Amino acid sequence: MTAVTDHLDILLDMLSALPDPVFVLTESGRYAALIGGQDRQHYHDGAHLVDFSLYDVLPKAKADWFLEQIKITLVQNQLRIVEYGLAGTDVNGLDTQQGPEGEIWFEGRIQPLSAPIKNERAVVWVACNITRRHQLEAKLQLLSETDELTGAYNRRKLLDALTLSLMHFRERQTPTAVVLMDIDYFKSINDRFGHVAGDEVLRGIAHHAMAHLREGDLFARFGGEEFALLLPNTSLVAAELITERLRLSIAAGDFLSGANLTVTVSMGLSLIQPQDQSIESILHRADDALYKAKRNGRNCFISAS
């Protein structure tokens, strides 16, 4: 009997020493048990959650998501792996003085249990803190989408976003505008002031433009001295107003301090059209409009629509 007791004590000690918290959650969303996760550098103390429902301690939207994952796992009856963010302040009654600050990112490994818990099907949910990995991945993602010189998005990001916009247009007929923008006489800027100054103008244009855009707009360096602007949920009239306002703002800007230089841009605008089968046709119309703007004396915009 002593040997059995000793083995049970060792087993319980091992379970409580698990580095990551292990939750037992029922089909109705009740916390049935919690073991492990004692490292306060990476986890908060969630012992108080036992016998409470997800809806007692979490915002409804988050509780809905957790319950959905439990139910999907039980239906599929196999291990599932999910990633999610959760802050200590999201959980009612949690002591946020002990544990990590801000939003924590977790990898959740969810496995169905074969035996019911108080007449309910249940899962075991192992939560592993992957915040550092998530932050690194987000940083690498941003680097892969950003133009190194200007800090604007790059051509790849613009093309990916435009592809999604075309898909949304086909599904919902959401008006979306694309603007191509070229710095007027950029070669002469390099010739007069040098390539270092030219790079400064490119950075200034990008920072200036991004500061004047709305939330949800996307500004990208398309190549060389050419930039592109994606305006989701934007009618032709609104897109023309935004384009003209940006053109005037750039013409009034000071991009080389102390230099006698006025920087202007030519711009071509196109809306996504029902006949568009690819993003190339949208960009082609915007590019044609851009070259018309150049032929019309530059420092202006032309709408393909």
247 shares a domain with 124: no
197 shares a domain with 77: no
31 shares a domain with 121: yes
Interval 85-97 mean pLDDT: 85
The CATH number of residue 158's host domain is 3.30.70.270
Around Cβ 152, how many Cβ atoms within 10 Å?
25
Mean pLDDT score across all residues of the chain? 90
Enumerate residues 6+ apart whose C-beta is below 8 A from 290: 180, 181, 182, 266, 267, 268, 302
Output 6 or 230, whichever has higher pLDDT: 230
Residue 153 has pLDDT above 70, yes or no: yes
Catalytic site includes residue 145? no
Percent of the chain with pLDDT over 90: 71
Domain boundary (95, 110, 138) is at 138
130 shares a domain with 152: no
Domain boundary (138, 157, 179) is at 138
Domain boundary (112, 138, 164) is at 138
153 shares a domain with 84: no
| Domain ranges, residue 227 | 146-303
Task: DSSP for 34-66, please give it.
Answer: EE----TTT----GGGTT-BHHHHS-HHHHHHH
As to burial, measured by CB atoms within 10 angstroms (0-12 exposed, 13-18 middle, 19+ buried), residue 206 is buried
- Please tell me the predicted confidence (pLDDT) of residue 253: 87
Binning pLDDT at 50, 70 and 90, where does residue 42 land?
Answer: confident
- Please tell me the predicted confidence (pLDDT) of residue 7: 56
Residue 260 has pLDDT above 90, yes or no: no
Q: How far apart are CA 94 and CA 88, in angstroms?
A: 7
267 shares a domain with 222: yes
Taking only the tens place, the pLDDT of each residue in 3-39 is: 545 555 566 666 666 788 999 999 999 999 998 877 7
Q: Three-class SS of residue 227?
A: strand
162 shares a domain with 253: yes
Residue 47 has pLDDT above 90, yes or no: no
Distance spanning both ends of the chain, measured CA to CA: 87
Contact in structure between 162 and 217 (CB atoms under 8 Å): no
Catalytic pick from 107, 225, 240, 280?
225
270 shares a domain with 134: no
111 shares a domain with 192: no
194 shares a domain with 124: no
Query: Nearest to residue 46, comparing CAs of 86, 83, 77, 73?
Result: 86
Q: How far apart are CA 13 and CA 24, in angstroms?
A: 18
- Please tell me the predicted confidence (pLDDT) of residue 12: 62
Taking only the tens place, the pLDDT of each residue in 155-202 is: 999 999 999 999 999 988 989 999 999 999 999 999 999 999 999 999
CB-facing half-sphere around the CA of 134: CA atoms within 13 A: 14
Binning pLDDT at 50, 70 and 90, where does residue 95 land?
Answer: confident
- Please tell me the predicted confidence (pLDDT) of residue 56: 95
Output 9 or 275, whichever has higher pLDDT: 275
The CATH number of residue 78's host domain is 3.30.450.20
> pTM of the predicted model, to two decimals?
0.65
154 shares a domain with 277: yes
296 shares a domain with 151: yes
Contact in structure between 182 and 225 (CB atoms under 8 Å): yes
Q: How many domains does the chain have?
A: 2
Element spanning 76, H or E: helix 60-76
